[in-house]
Chains A and B, each alone.
Chain A
């Protein structure tokens, strides 16, 4: 089945810094989603992005489907950005299930 790899596994930033999180996937996918898992365990949908670039405030994401990767940019990071960021690929055919990467744990220090 499809493999989803995320890097880096851990990232520590000072408040105000910018960061880029990467997601590689091994096969063609129907779609790609980015999630933020907050300290309470909730999965918050950030972007649903099969290709191209989307922006939402300080966050933006770019997916290059032909090269099988997606990037999540966080600018001017805040302590509330801390948590685990997951990317997940929506598989082709079948039941449209999501295959998750292992996540990037982001810690933003004040």
Chain B
């Protein structure tokens, strides 16, 4: 069964540093997403990406965040200057007619 692959599984970074979270979505899916889950809370939508551009973004997705699909397979989320409150599990997902498939997540810890 096709999978969404995320790397790394866990990343620790110092406050103010840039991080790039990587994802390989399912290739024939059309919509790609990033979601975030702060520990113990619900999963929240960050951004959707369709046809090589952002189709919708949430209030959380401010100027510190950016997404790219640089080579037609990888899908990245960049946080330019991390803050303590960016510590969370970040999920990549892709969508087709049978529903969403989520990656296993990247746990980001900002210290």
Cβ-defined partner of A88 (8 Å) among B43, B50, B98: B43
* Interface residue? B65 (CB, 8 A): no
Q: What are 16 A-B interface contacts by the 8 Å CB criterion?
A: A33-B100, A41-B37, A41-B105, A42-B104, A43-B91, A43-B102, A45-B101, A48-B99, A86-B42, A88-B43, A90-B99, A94-B55, A95-B55, A96-B95, A98-B100, A102-B42
Q: Is there an interface contact between A98 and B45, defined as CB atoms closer than 8 Å?
A: yes
* Interface residue? B5 (CB, 8 A): no
Which positions 31-70 of chain A face chain B at CB distance < 8 Å? 31, 33, 35, 40-43, 45, 48
Q: Is the interface of A mostly helix, strand, loop or mixed?
A: strand
- Bitwise interface map of B from 78 to 111 toward A, beta carbon under 8 Å scored 1, else 0: 0000000000010100010011111011010000
Residues of B within 8 A of A99 (CB): 45
Q: Give the complex CA separation of A76 and B109 in angstroms.
A: 37
Q: Give the complex CA separation of A50 and B31 in angstroms.
A: 19
* Interface residue? A101 (CB, 8 A): yes
